[in-house]
Amino acid sequence: MVEKMRASDFRQKSLKDFESGGVWRDSPKQALVRATYMHRRFKEYYMFPSSDEGWVLTDSKKADDGDMNERMISLDCEMVDCDDNTKAIVRVCAVDAEYKVLLDMLVKPNRPVLDYLTSITGICEADLQNTTCSFLDAQAAVLNLLTCNTILVGHSLHNDLKALKIDHARLIDTSFLFQFRNKPESFNAGLNSLCKAVLGYTFRDDTKPHDCILDATIPMKIVHHVLMHGINGPLDIESKMIDEGQLCKLYFHGIPKVVSVNDLQKLIPQNCSCSLNEISWSGGKYGTTYGIFKSIDAANWTFTKFKGVLGEDSYGRPQKTIMVAIKSSRGKAKKVPVRVRKMISDDDAARSKCVLKAENTLTQTFEVNENDDSMCTNIVSTKKRKMTEDDQAAVNDALHSCCGHLQEIESLKEQLQAKNEEVRELQKIILDLTRQRP
């Protein structure tokens, strides 16, 4: 334990060396490692609690001068929601720089699963019935691929490393390499959108489950593209307007089989109209459903009224664990936990409003008089006029105004994160002092 804490302390103290490239020799690949370390959110995402139980801190010592190997491996994991408000790995894949599959492993969760997230992972309970690989097997399999010189590649790689409980120093996070035009600094492009902007194509239908091997392969292709062509200024990412109908919903998941739609309906305030879909079980122990409200404000207001600790899911969407009152088989009243979340993160909602405001600024309508002799046909229509320089300036002003507010929010979040880290370190010191007392 003491040795792990010393190693973790060394890792944090050596951060400046990693940023400057002093630990490894300069190279084009190392420049991308350095770019990852220099990102403003690196410390927030990658300062792992690697001294905690179950974590493995890989060797970050400088390699011998004769060892010039810079092997790159790209990693991706699929995860499910567990009953203790954590994530568990159910699949892990890794490919090398030639896109050869090095690892493709299904993993049996070591905790009860609330939601298999099948629409995202493509995995259901039946797929894992004959799986014998444990979390420790998956962790060991990934560690066997790594040396101190290995460069680990991935998109939002911190999520995968956190799930695997692996702290590896030399890495390239493709979500940290680019800047985006007319986006706040906090903007993080999804892998599919980034692939379109960098490589010129999308590789999956967003309405279908993820392919773990593809999700490991695409970041490696993006890295190869950058190594060959460099990064030429900010990228243009298409702004996806969220369907307003989706924002009028709340998503209930991790629903035990003893809970009915009527039980959930009792949670909705009486003065708020909400239609609850039938619960979908998908062959698992827990179900999911949607609550559909008349407006976005009604959905958001209802979410605030639910009693439960406010948190976030792994995608940053606001989420609460609430208690649902039911009657047991013996007729006794009891409460069971259910999770409920919003459809998108608050940041995404703010960005969506930014784009909508900009589009409203740009769009002007006019009616064509049906008696106008200049028209060949008598048509009454509404059209968008072409963008002028003034229009573009108005759009930019609207975007910059909204982006400024988002950046202020991100700054406050970072300050809160720093304070939380300070508290955590003080708690460690207190724990160590307590253990040292006779």
pLDDT along the chain (438 residues), means of 10: 53 56 78 93 89 88 58 95 83 98 95 84 90 96 94 96 94 94 78 93 84 96 97 81 77 91 92 88 79 91 91 82 85 87 77 56 44 42 46 57 60 65 67 62
Nearest alpha carbon to residue 88 among 112, 53, 105, 58:
112
Residues, the chain = 438
Between CA 150 and CA 72 the distance in angstroms is 6
Neighbouring CB atoms inside 10 A of 349's CB total 18
Which pLDDT belongs to residue 382?
39
- What is the CATH class of 2-229? alpha beta
pLDDT value for 246: 79
Q: Round to whole Å and give the CA distance between 247 and 242.
A: 8
The pLDDT score that the predictor gives to residue 349 is 67
Per-residue HEC secondary structure of the chain comes to CHHHHHHHHHHHHCHHHHHHCCCCCCCHHHHHHHHHHHCCCHHHHHCCCCCCCCCEECCCCCCCCCCCCCCEEEEEEEEEEECCCCEEEEEEEEEECCCCEEEEEECCCCCCEEECCHHHHCCCHHHHCCCCCCHHHHHHHHHCCCCCCCEEEECCHHHHHHHHCEECCCEEEHHHCCCECCCCCCCCCCHHHHHHHHHCCCCCCCCCCCCHHHHHHHHHHHHHHHHHHCCCCCECCCCCCCCHHHHCEEEEEEEECCCCHHHHHCCCCCCCCEEECCCECCCCCEEEEEEEECCHHHHHHHHHHCCCCEEECCCCCEEEEEEEEEECCCCCEEEEEEEEECCCCHHHHHHHHHHHHHHHHHCCCCECCCCCCCCCCCCCCECCCCCCHHHHHHHHHHHHHHHHHHHHHHHHHHHHHHHHHHHHHHHHHHHHHHHHCC
CATH: 1.10.287.130, 3.30.2020.10, 3.40.630.30, 3.30.70.330. Which one for 244-344?
Answer: 3.30.70.330
pLDDT of residue 386: 44
What local confidence, expressed as pLDDT, does residue 406 receive?
60
d(CA 251, CA 407): 28
The identity of residue 282, as a single letter, is: S
